[in-house]
């Protein structure tokens, strides 16, 4: 069974965040993701 070749036509970015709990890391990452997805 041959595997299909995955075509990645969008750039990707790994974002690492460091910080204390409840300091907005998830909110910041969500805002960046939403902005870059447009």
Tokens of 18: 């460091």
pLDDT greater than 70 at residue 1: no
**Model pLDDT for residues 7-38, shown as the tens digit of each residue:** 888 888 787 889 999 999 999 989 988 998 88
Helices (H) and strands (E) in the chain, counts: 1, 0
36 and 14 Cβ atoms separated by less than 8 Å: no
């Amino acid at each position: 069974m041959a595997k299909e070749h995955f075509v990645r036509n969008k750039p990707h970015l790994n974002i690492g965040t460091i910080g204390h709990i409840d300091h907005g890391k998830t909110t910041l990452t969500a805002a960046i993701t939403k902005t870059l997805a447009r």
